[in-house]
Structure 1
Amino acid sequence: MNTANTDQRLHSLDNLRAIMMWLGIVVHVSVNYMINPSPTPWRDSQTSVLADLLIVFIHAFRMPVFFILAGFFVAMLVAKRGMAAMLRQRVRKLVWPFMVFWPLLLIFMSLLVAVYAHLNAFGTMGVDFELIPKVPGRPQVSLLHLWFIYYLFLYCLVYALLLRWSVFIPLALQHGFANTWKILCTNWWGIFLLTLPLALAGSFYRNGMVTPLGSFMPHPAEFIHSGMFFSCGIFLYRFQADLLPRFERRCWSYLCAGLPVFVVFLALVKSGGNTESANPGMQTIMAYLYNSVSWLWSFALIGLFLRYLLGKSRLLSYLADSSYWVYLVHMLGTIGFGILLYHSPFGAVGRMMCNIVLTSLFCLLSYHLLVRRGLIERFLNGGASKKAVDAGSVNPGISC
């Protein structure tokens, strides 16, 4: 693989990462206005089925793509700099930002949620932490949306341990395991085998959709679910010469194959699967369908960006540079502007659109004025990257 082709492919993946990050704003704004029960303790007085559809649609591929890209770039970092350098870089990029920003976000987000709860209870602004509803099965003090970097660092530790222990594993067994992943990612039937462990994990969740509980103690189902996509990214890097061109050639096939599966999933949700009383068998079927879509559309998106957005874009490079900051602070915007729009004359869809625009402006302006090329930029990104390959190799593909 020549250097120019490699750089173009890394530009494509960095462009994909930037778009997936911005879809996080759409998802977390939509949570305010969804009709179905929400795991978050805030809800606008206006709701729309569009919000539910956007969440189900985007959730199918967004985090899977992020973990695949994260695994890809971690494997690339190990190949280029070694395991020890990868761990040092992950501590600097993941652990220290978590230690700094998690307490601050916990304070400010708790305050905003308390105001939201007061609005829901009395229709007026106020702060009363006792009004915040307790969500069954969720911790009182959670990881918030920083669960992604928390899990990502755990995966990096596991990967480092496996690399260290690999000296005790026969090479034939190592190659056999790696080639099995390649075969599964190469053949259409492999996707349906890869979905089996994800279906088992999803069977414990409403509609078969794995949603993070935010606990500091990793939930086995969540750890397996995201870990499968992270592992895929590692092997995608190893076999990129074969797999990336295949995803590029077959991107539309993957996309089209996922559509009828997604429609069947929605039909099951509408016909009664979307209830607390849905039987475990139905939950498992729904989880299998939904996670099949996750694999198909993740491969489709990688291929589409390799095919149509392979060059370096100034706009997407800027969004990629800002992605870590936006990931950290965007929830302050989605909740805060949700409060400000609570009594607006708009309906649910109008409020959603306003919130998305306002949150995006808040994130971009705060990044440009307070972060870019400054101390916080160096702390998060090591400075604005000059090349997409640099951005891809140092940024963890962050978002929630």
Structure 2
Amino acid sequence: MENKAFLSSRNIGLDFLRALLILEGVLYHAARSLPGGNNWYYISGKNEADAFTALIEFMHTFRMEAFFFLSGMFSAMVILRKGSDFFYSNRKKRVVVPLISAFLFIPGLMYLINAQIDGEALTTHNALGAYTSLHHLWFLVSLTAMSFLIPGSLYQRAAMMMRRLPFPLLVAALIVAANAFFVVKFFVKDFGE
């Protein structure tokens, strides 16, 4: 019986994990409409659901970290299968272009929405000031930096190393690394964007 390397073929488990994390993100952002210490504008007048809020906040503590780990694993797979040139070309199309496109559109739109809700007059100064904040684009900036500032040779070494690891050991290594990043996240979370 042949023992196939973990990254040598499509892994449905990783696709399933990515789908679960996406659904959790939808649930998290929908749950932000519940009362309970958040400052989103569309807060409902319903009673606070403490257990639900605690569950959602717990899931949110690791969701984005898990996405970044999956991104790294998928990056390693792409480099391993299709090479570095394809990887960088793909990253430009799938990360850099959406980042630039969204940055041209989202900060201005967020300014218009916030000004309307707050009843503030629109000004050019405040509209331009909206472009000093990343809003929800921080993850695309992070992916761009990780894709283009980390040497490709590091990805190749990581891909080769992951190919040799049995799945349980790979999962254990990811859990240890995720907890390390989890600690770092909470040390820097109050520094702002």
TM-score, structure 1 length as denominator?
0.36
Please, which runs of 5 or more residues in structure 2 have no aligned partner? 124-129
Superposition map of 1:160-199 within 5 A: 161=151, 163=153, 186=169, 191=175, 195-196=179-180, 198-199=182-183
Superposition map of 1:164-313 within 5 A: 186=169, 191=175, 195-196=179-180, 198-205=182-189, 213=192, 215=193
Q: 2:92 and 2:140 mapped to 1: Cα distance?
A: 10
Counterpart among 157, 161, 168 of residue 148 in structure 2: 157
Letter in 2 for 1:94: V
CA contact (8 A) 1:94 1:149 kept: yes
Deviation, 1:192, is: 5.3
Superposition map of 1:311-330 within 5 A: none
Deviation, 1:140, is: 6.7
Letter in 2 for 1:163: S
2:127 corresponds to 1:143: no
Corresponding residue for residue 69 of structure 1: 70
Q: 1:97 and 1:204 mapped to 2: Cα distance?
A: 26
Please, which runs of 5 or more residues in structure 1 have no aligned partner? 119-126, 131-138, 167-173, 207-211, 216-400
CA contact (8 A) 2:62 2:182 kept: no
CA contact (8 A) 2:95 2:144 kept: yes
Q: 2:30 and 2:45 mapped to 1: Cα distance?
A: 13
1:200/1:77 CA distance change after superposition, 3 Å: closer
Superposition map of 1:39-78 within 5 A: 42=41, 44=43, 46=45, 48-50=48-50, 52-78=53-79
Letter in 2 for 1:103: L
Letter in 2 for 1:16: L
Corresponding residue for residue 17 of structure 1: 18
How many residue pairs align between the two structures? 174
Deviation, 1:89, is: 0.9
Once the two structures are superposed, residues 57-89 of structure 1 have per-residue CA deviations (whole angstroms, 9 ceiling, x without a partner) of: 220232122112111111111111211221111
1:113/1:24 CA distance change after superposition, 3 Å: farther
Once the two structures are superposed, residues 315-374 of structure 1 have per-residue CA deviations (whole angstroms, 9 ceiling, x without a partner) of: xxxxxxxxxxxxxxxxxxxxxxxxxxxxxxxxxxxxxxxxxxxxxxxxxxxxxxxxxxxx
CA contact (8 A) 2:78 2:87 kept: yes
SS at match of 2:94: helix
Deviation, 1:108, is: 2.1
Deviation, 1:29, is: 2.6
CA contact (8 A) 1:30 1:54 kept: no
Superposition map of 1:321-400 within 5 A: none
Letter in 2 for 1:145: H
CA contact (8 A) 1:95 1:153 kept: yes
CA contact (8 A) 1:42 1:117 kept: no
User: RMSD over aligned Cα, in angstroms?
Assistant: 3.8
